[in-house]
Amino acid sequence: MVLRLDAHGKPFSEGEQVVIGGNERYISVCRKHYKQAIDEGSLKAIYGTQTPHG
């Protein structure tokens, strides 16, 4: 599944389906982590306390 991020890096599932040129706004995740990220509104389910780039 593909998780979309808003301008602040928070996951969301509303709005346009595709953003042209927005590759940094998409993360591939399994169904479990997709649901957790959407329910929590954060990437903690995927990355824990670490950021994706550090």
> So what's the pLDDT on residue 31?
94
Check residue 20 and give left, alpha or beta (phi > 0: left; psi -120 to 50: alpha): beta
> So what's the pLDDT on residue 9?
86
By three-state DSSP, how is residue 6 classified? coil
Kindly list the domain boundaries of the chain, sorted by start residue. 2-47
Contact 11, 38 (CB under 8 A): yes
Which of 30, 32, 34, 31 is closest to 5 using CA atoms? 34
Record the pTM.
0.72
> So what's the pLDDT on residue 34?
92
pLDDT tens digits, the chain, 54 residues: what are they? Answer: 988 888 888 998 887 777 777 778 889 999 999 999 999 998 887 888 665 654
- How much of the chain is helix, strand and coil, in % rounded to 5? 30, 15, 50
